[in-house]
Structure 1
Amino acid sequence: MDLPSDRTGEELSRQLLVIVDPFARRTDGESVRIAKDVLCAGATAKVCLPDGPEDFAKALAKRGARRPVVVGDDRALLRAVSLLHRERELSGAVLSMVPVGAGVALARSLGVPSGAVAAARAALYGTERRLDLLVDDSDGVVLGDLRIPPLAESPAPPGTERPWLRTCRSLVRSIAARPVRPVPADSGAPARLRVEADGVTLVDLDQPVEGVRVGPATGTGLARVEVRCARTADLSTRARTVTVSGEDFRYRSDSVAIGGPVRTRTWTVRVGAWGLALP
């Protein structure tokens, strides 16, 4: 459930910590420069240029009373939220983001403006919105969607696929005589998974599963659970807690982070768990 905050843009902290992700600096230096100019002109801003994830974490930890503004892509936003969650400081922080780079679909889905100027102005003058969060039993977080195979429909980020897997996929494509329904690429067959929503079993191990997707059901405080079955009709429901178990499986969070393999994982909705400044 997206809850409006009592704090308006004018009441948000006018002291900013601008953390510029190194990948953003390499891919679109002009947008980074524009964002810094707008932010520094409108507030007292300290600009940090971390060299990697470790420096990023140190800068965020030393923010003091400054409100963090992330300049980068979805990975950078997810990193900031994850760090604040693990430090148990997420509820008291209000994040802002200036999306820079190609991988910003998550930021746009959350309502962050796509242009550097518009996003920087939202960081300066926007209103805090409280957003839901999926938290798993290993303390991982999901801001948007969670997906479990088939990987064929959710390709891994460059450099994360194993060479033999790419070779197998190329071979399958080359010999396929006709279209077939996509299946989990890790196993070559639908997965045997048990999916439970608030303790109720949606599918069990005897029902092959081709894909699971969990995402926010906006305005409800619940997650939307969708299960694509191999032999029966697809299933969908809403729940506060979702548990997936069975054979080893991997999962993709927000299209950027890959977790697993695990035998079981539980995700729970945290209502209004984090704040994002939006227009």
Structure 2
Amino acid sequence: MATSATSDQLLVVIDPVARRTDGESVRIAKDVLSAGATTKVCMPEGPDEFARVLARRGARRPVVVGDDRALLRAVSLLHRQRELAGCALSFVPVGGALSVARSLGVPTGAVAAARTVLDGVERRLDLLVDDSDGVVLGALRIPAVAPQPPEMEAEAAGRPWLRTCQTLVRTLVPARPTREPAPPAPGPSRLRVEVDGVTLVDLGQPVEAVSVTPGAAGLAEVEVQPVSVGAEASLLRASGRTVTVTGADFRYRADAGVAGPVRRRTWTVWEGALGLTLPGR
């Protein structure tokens, strides 16, 4: 669903990282926006000031200038305040981390993005919201786990004294120049993945990776890559409104960062939760 975006009153919030990394693109975006609308420009110096500025926007349409993290910060703040439904957000991507912006369809050039703010349309996009009220805009991925080094495995097995002895030996024996060993390759994860309460894969089946992305009509698209034994294993796919993953202290990549470790997490699709200004089609 798309509606015309209004450009009368804009609150332009410029993330400090954008100002430091690409001041020229910030200046260009400000010039284009000021030429096409009445703008109030704010330059918060940190997350707290960013939140205060956004909360005091009044009737102005917020325009975030920054990278993926700045966009996620704004969406998360509006979500926690339960104000996403009545707020059309606009975004001018500036910075190095812009993969989420591209996946959402936001132009990544300063001029094109600023013109989209002025002339684009508001489109309602689905979000993934987890059971701790965290928001995912794009893809969610659970990669394979990295093996623990032997001393950490010893601690996990209840033998912390072994690590102490290994450390003492290293201090007494002169170190010989050796080539730095390559980091161990990630091993498979054992996870239970449930989609709308139906188990897609259980703990007995090791998996290489899991991905969850907002799909269409309020559904999440889930893909699980089982570990290959001999022949290549086929992807397991499912669609649903809720996705629950259970496992031993797993981490996951969501948008611009890594979260966890957690033992259980449920994500729910919030249909049409985000109104974002995108190019008209």
Q: TM over 0.5, yes or no?
A: yes
Alpha-carbon distance in 2 for matches of 1:257, 1:13: 32
Structure 1 residues not aligned, in runs of 5+: 153-169, 177-181, 184-188
1:161 corresponds to: none
Partners of 2:9 and 2:37 within 8 A in 1? yes
The alpha-carbon deviation at position 151 of structure 1 amounts to 6.6
SS at 2:138 equivalent: coil
Structure 2 residue 84 is matched with structure 1 residue 90: yes
Alpha-carbon distance in 1 for matches of 2:182, 2:212: 29
Q: What is the percent sequence identity of the aligned residues?
A: 68
Specify the code of the residue in structure 1 equivalent to 2:204.
D
The alpha-carbon deviation at position 150 of structure 1 amounts to 2.6
Measured at CA, do residues 127 and 105 of structure 1 come closer, stay the same or move farther in structure 2, by a change above 3 Å?
Answer: same
Aligned residues: 242
2:235 corresponds to: 234
Q: Deviations for 1:193-220, whole angstroms, at most 9, x for unmatched residues?
A: 1000011001111111221100122x33
Structure 2 residues not aligned, in runs of 5+: 147-179
The alpha-carbon deviation at position 221 of structure 1 amounts to 2.0
Partners of 1:13 and 1:66 within 8 A in 2? no
Alpha-carbon distance in 1 for matches of 2:45, 2:207: 41
**Deviating runs (4+, > 3 A) in structure 1?**
none
Alignment of 1:257-268 (within 5 A): 257-268=257-268
Alpha-carbon distance in 2 for matches of 1:50, 1:257: 22
Partners of 2:247 and 2:264 within 8 A in 1? yes
Partners of 1:216 and 1:223 within 8 A in 2? yes
Specify the code of the residue in structure 2 equivalent to 1:250.
R
2:37 corresponds to: 43
Specify the code of the residue in structure 1 equivalent to 2:208.
E
Specify the code of the residue in structure 1 equivalent to 2:207.
V
SS at 1:171 equivalent: coil
Specify the code of the residue in structure 1 equivalent to 2:182.
V
Alpha-carbon distance in 2 for matches of 1:35, 1:234: 43
SS at 2:182 equivalent: helix
Alpha-carbon distance in 2 for matches of 1:204, 1:95: 39
2:220 corresponds to: 223
Pairwise CA RMSD? 1.6
Alignment match of 1:208 (pick from 199, 206, 210): 206
